[in-house]
Structure 1
């Protein structure tokens, strides 16, 4: 082997090491690592608190005698308030800082999750859950902007995607807490105890306050604004310079979240009532989806830096379409449906891993929080309406057909939006 060949192989090995899923962490400094863990744990606890409701709905229906429509309205209202909270948190993060906004949102969703456990009737629970939504949506925005600005360009997708993967861990934690509390306490008490566990994230604020600092790029931008007296306006993301980017990015997130809600909200009902399958009510099926979700997040986080933001979105959107088709068109058995839970979680959740880095890179530092908060959360608000429309159309076209049509339409919108937006992989934020 000549020296040139050896040198080339050595360079390939070094490049492979630098591109590895976790290699970036070894090269990160204390500031980056603290921000990463604060954001990841914060999003994990956010996911835990948010997913608790899905586990206690049967108990609330039995205990308070509320209808399934009433229970579903709690979830819908939470999504709508989380959309508003996410945009407000983005605006706030541009004005008072990413770290301070993260602290406020974590305290907010923890406090109101705890209050859910003290609710004495449906109306009180609805109000507490709606208010919790503001913090739930706001935490994602503040955390995604913070970690996106702290991590260097070549590793941003992996780091932000790993933070996003915390959602699946939080979902699993909620499932385990549910299983434990309902095994040691009567159901009428256990659901309250489960929500009271939601106060735990408040402790994270102590760590954030002491150890996490504002990103350098934000500090420099803020200092320049103050010296020049040039503060960003609320409507700057809709200015002629940014309006096209804002619109297309909002369509991208609407496609991702509309497709996700179309599939995950109605599939269990479709499979149970029209296909008469029972496995989706088991813990094993839930575990399969959660594991698939986590591996999907990890894979997408790696691929968004390896392939680029746009190809990664298109790949996971196509996979989600295929899964939606399989669930609604194929003649499934309990056994085959059990294993389809893995690709369902993999593609439908994994598509979100590249979202934070992409939105961070699309907007300039002065309005990054506003832009990212608006685009992600307008997608959440519109996507939250998909389950309602599917339910209405199901009376005429059937539930399976309605789910399939909306899933294909949603992911089709995402693909078109991705194709029209610029590729930002590797973009330095100072020049964004």
Structure 2
């Protein structure tokens, strides 16, 4: 299968220069696509974090143990595998933009529904359905932007899209702090879920202003086997699919363990108030935002695989330092939040470009949607394991298990090629 240029990257033949050359190189259409994907992923993050931030209040309201609260995250991430796979197929068959609107609408509707849950069982169902949209948005948005980006700048461009996760996380923490400061916890967690209606505004923007990359859309339409699971498990792509899924499992197992349990860890074992928790998370999120941007730069400079190995090692070290810090050293804990957020986010920056470059245009959505979200689903069992073990080990002790995921990610890279500089095919 030959490799060809996948889309129009610039409106003229001049080579953009400067710190924002990657953004200029997208051209007007590409920049609008970038805005849609960035907004979609930021609000995806916002809607996801309504659960971890409200988890202590939800647990008290429904009288849940740690295993039950961990299951809420696990079911979201497991069902996200189904959502990601379906969204990938839709992206290959009906286009990236239309699939993006479907995923955003889905996760917004069911996040709001979570706020109306009368019991734990209903909340589990609504959270699972939220996972359908949550699972598909990133893969679809990343592919949309990747097909506008040049090979030279693709890592930085997709790293900037990834940074939207930190922006959405920060917004969620701000809203959480305000809502829980002024409302009783029994109603505050519901209001937090109801604010998940915000993405509806983004759908209007995407529908009016964003289009698929024309050349990539034409190439996809002319290809046979669009959106085919049999293709990504065929002899040409089977090895790629297996190892990309293992890579995603390791990185996301480590990440979601921390994302799920750090707010609970800060409140229950470090004794922080709502305001105090927000302050500590601010350091974590600031590090995450800069980590995404730095990782995007490095993935273009040193390669996709080296960037992942570097930050897998540093993330493991940071997790152990953060979770095993002796009691009474909350000042140092505050400082350690920055490198923890930086490292565990920088490792993600290459994912959008790496997975996009591993698959041909006709099945790029299917391949990226399946591998990223299947990995997330398998890795999701780690937060539940932490929940069950935390009753005997403590939340901090169980959180150290997150380092195991990063080791798996490094092993998975053995079966994948380096793709830096590769044109989409």
Cα deviation for residue 336 of structure 1 reads 1.5
Q: Which has the larger radius of gyration?
A: 1
Given that 1:160 and 1:357 are in contact with CA atoms closer than 8 Å, whether structure 2 keeps it comes out as: yes
Q: What TM-score, normalized by structure 1, do the two folds share?
A: 0.87
Aligned to 1:295: 290
Aligned to 2:362: 366
Cα deviation digits, residues 19-71 of structure 1 (max 9, x gap): x5522223431101000000001110111111011222233334343444333
Flag the structure with higher helix content.
Answer: 1
- Work out the CA distance in 1 between the residues paired with 2:314 and 2:123: 37
- Work out the CA distance in 1 between the residues paired with 2:265 and 2:173: 23
Given that 2:177 and 2:278 are in contact with CA atoms closer than 8 Å, whether structure 1 keeps it comes out as: no
Which of 222, 231, 238 aligns to 1:236? It is 231
Q: Does 1:354 align with 2:338?
A: no
Describe the SS at the equivalent of 1:154: coil
Q: Does 1:74 align with 2:69?
A: no
Which of 331, 335, 348 aligns to 2:331? It is 335
Aligned to 1:256: 251
Aligned to 1:117: 115
Aligned to 1:180: 178
Aligned to 1:9: none
Cα deviation for residue 132 of structure 1 reads 0.8
Aligned to 2:8: none
Question: Which stretch shifts more, 183-192 or 421-430?
Answer: 183-192
- Work out the CA distance in 2 between the residues paired with 1:267 and 1:214: 38
RMSD between superposed Cα atoms in Å = 2.7
Describe the SS at the equivalent of 1:429: coil
Aligned to 1:376: 372
Given that 1:159 and 1:301 are in contact with CA atoms closer than 8 Å, whether structure 2 keeps it comes out as: yes
Cα deviation for residue 414 of structure 1 reads 1.4
Distance 1:25 1:132, change over 3 A: same
Q: Does 1:167 align with 2:152?
A: no
Aligned to 2:212: 214
Q: Matches of residues 302-341 of structure 1 in structure 2 within 5 Å?
A: 302-327=297-322, 331=326, 333-341=329-337
Distance 1:396 1:188, change over 3 A: closer
- Work out the CA distance in 2 between the residues paired with 1:269 and 1:186: 18
Cα deviation for residue 422 of structure 1 reads 1.2
Cα deviation for residue 370 of structure 1 reads 0.8
Aligned to 1:42: 40
Given that 2:386 and 2:395 are in contact with CA atoms closer than 8 Å, whether structure 1 keeps it comes out as: yes
Q: What TM-score, normalized by structure 2, do the two folds share?
A: 0.88
Distance 1:393 1:126, change over 3 A: closer
Distance 1:314 1:93, change over 3 A: same
- Work out the CA distance in 2 between the residues paired with 1:286 and 1:408: 20
- Aligned residue pair count: 409
Question: Which stretch shifts more, 309-318 or 61-70?
Answer: 61-70
Determine which structure has greater relative contact order: mean sequence separation of CA pairs < 8 Å that are 6+ residues apart, divided by chain length: 2
- Work out the CA distance in 2 between the residues paired with 1:331 and 1:58: 23
- Work out the CA distance in 2 between the residues paired with 1:345 and 1:240: 38
Distance 1:329 1:46, change over 3 A: closer
Distance 1:69 1:369, change over 3 A: same
Aligned to 1:84: 82
Distance 1:388 1:152, change over 3 A: same
- Work out the CA distance in 1 between the residues paired with 2:195 and 2:218: 39
Which of 326, 331, 341 aligns to 1:345? It is 341
- Work out the CA distance in 1 between the residues paired with 2:184 and 2:249: 40
Given that 2:304 and 2:418 are in contact with CA atoms closer than 8 Å, whether structure 1 keeps it comes out as: yes
Cα deviation digits, residues 175-226 of structure 1 (max 9, x gap): 111222334444443333322221121121111111111123432223313x
Given that 1:261 and 1:384 are in contact with CA atoms closer than 8 Å, whether structure 2 keeps it comes out as: yes
Given that 1:278 and 1:334 are in contact with CA atoms closer than 8 Å, whether structure 2 keeps it comes out as: no
Q: Which runs of 5+ in 2 are unaligned?
A: 1-13
- Work out the CA distance in 2 between the residues paired with 1:202 and 1:294: 24
- Work out the CA distance in 2 between the residues paired with 1:186 and 1:390: 28
